[in-house]
Amino acid sequence: MSIQQIIKGEGQWPVYIWTDECDEKSKQQLTNVAQLPFINHHIAAMPDVHVGRGATIGSVIATTQAIIPAAVGVDLGCGMIACRLSLNANDIDEQSILKIYNQIHRDVPVGRNQHQSDRALTDIALPFEAELKVIIHKHPKLRKAFRNFDNWIYQMGTLGGGNHFIEICLDEAQHVWVMLHSGSRGIGNAIGTYFIERAKKDMLKWDVHLPDTDLAYLQEGSVNFDDYIEAVDWAQRYAYQNRQAMLDLVLAGMHRHLQIPFTVTREVVNCHHNYVAREHHFGVDSWVTRKGAIRAGIGEMGIIPGSMGAKSYIVRGKGNPDSFCSCAHGAGRKMSRTEARHVFTVEDLKQQTAGVQCKKDNSVLDEIPGAYKDIDTVMANQDDLVEVVHTLKQIITIKG
């Protein structure tokens, strides 16, 4: 399929939507962004689009000479990593699945937990320290925005909570994959939140009135803009390295409990889906913010996960210019976490995650597959954006 809805109000930029299931609140947020003067050509809403802070999750916004921090998000650099192993389903029995599940829980801190004293992981984090000190020196209030600020070093190689996860999967040929979803942890969140507030102060100073205050922007050429670009770049690189560090921990845990040796047999795919990048679209150099979307240029590999218990996909981009060479980042929520807890029970969770080694209690009820859009529908709506290379199904899921 292709673009299914186009919204175009008077004096507004067009909004291209890759689904016919875009709710009214999401449409309003997209329309709000479409009123801003510095948009390049149009706004693209992916088939997993849903309400976010200021801008929808699942939106791609190309801008000239300005960036909206809330359109990038606060989990800066959040994204996915995946790799295929030289193992197949016959190499992992029920006993080893349970051992690997427990080992990953021991090796990778989840939720608010962090590493205590892992020299190898802190050595990975330390090269980021000098750059971070420069950022903090320019913005000392940023330190106050983040409790126990120095803990960012010990959060390298940690998962976090919410919809972040680690999974062991099987593809259509029964090959084993490792896939995980995480970002820049507490420090990235602090940076994102801090600069959203800086942008709001700029709007007050310049007497700019917006349809939503969370659409406050930083103007290119300003000190805050330059500092934001520097800080976001730091957080995105930290998030990228964090995923690689966790992947290494997972692979080490698997080596410990599997009797046969194995290797990574397909190049690791490591991609952001909450980030900003400088790109050229429709003849203009732009700042492209993808908030819950991945880049899908011609031949570029990406990861589109479903919910726990559902299918996930390894994809290859088609480079569709109308989407700014982008695609969906996952299934996308169809109900809030609070609503999910009211609608579903733990028994529902057990039924919807049958065959998957994972938590099946109230602590992850808000992540039940039924709270998410149907991943097959999402994929069908974007077959002009990506082609499916592999289809994955979880056998182990670990959440914060």
Residues designated as active site: 329
Q: Where do we find the tokens 């290379």?
A: 389
d(C-alpha 244, C-alpha 249), whole Å: 9
152 Rama class: left (phi>0) / alpha (psi -120 to 50) / beta: alpha
**81, 231 Cβ separation under 8 angstroms:** no
d(C-alpha 330, C-alpha 109), whole Å: 24
Which candidate, 53, 60, 64, places its Cα nearest to that of 25? 53
**81, 180 Cβ separation under 8 angstroms:** yes
Residues in the chain: 400
Which candidate, 302, 363, 304, 353, places its Cα nearest to that of 332? 304
Which candidate, 68, 19, 70, 20, places its Cα nearest to that of 40? 68
Which candidate, 137, 155, 18, places its Cα nearest to that of 75? 155
SS3 280: strand
**Helix runs in the chain, H state only:** 24-34, 69-72, 94-107, 119-125, 129-138, 141-144, 185-205, 223-257, 337-343, 346-352, 375-380
d(C-alpha 292, C-alpha 183), whole Å: 12
Q: Report CA-CA distances (Å) from 309 to 172, 304, 393, 396.
A: 16, 14, 8, 9
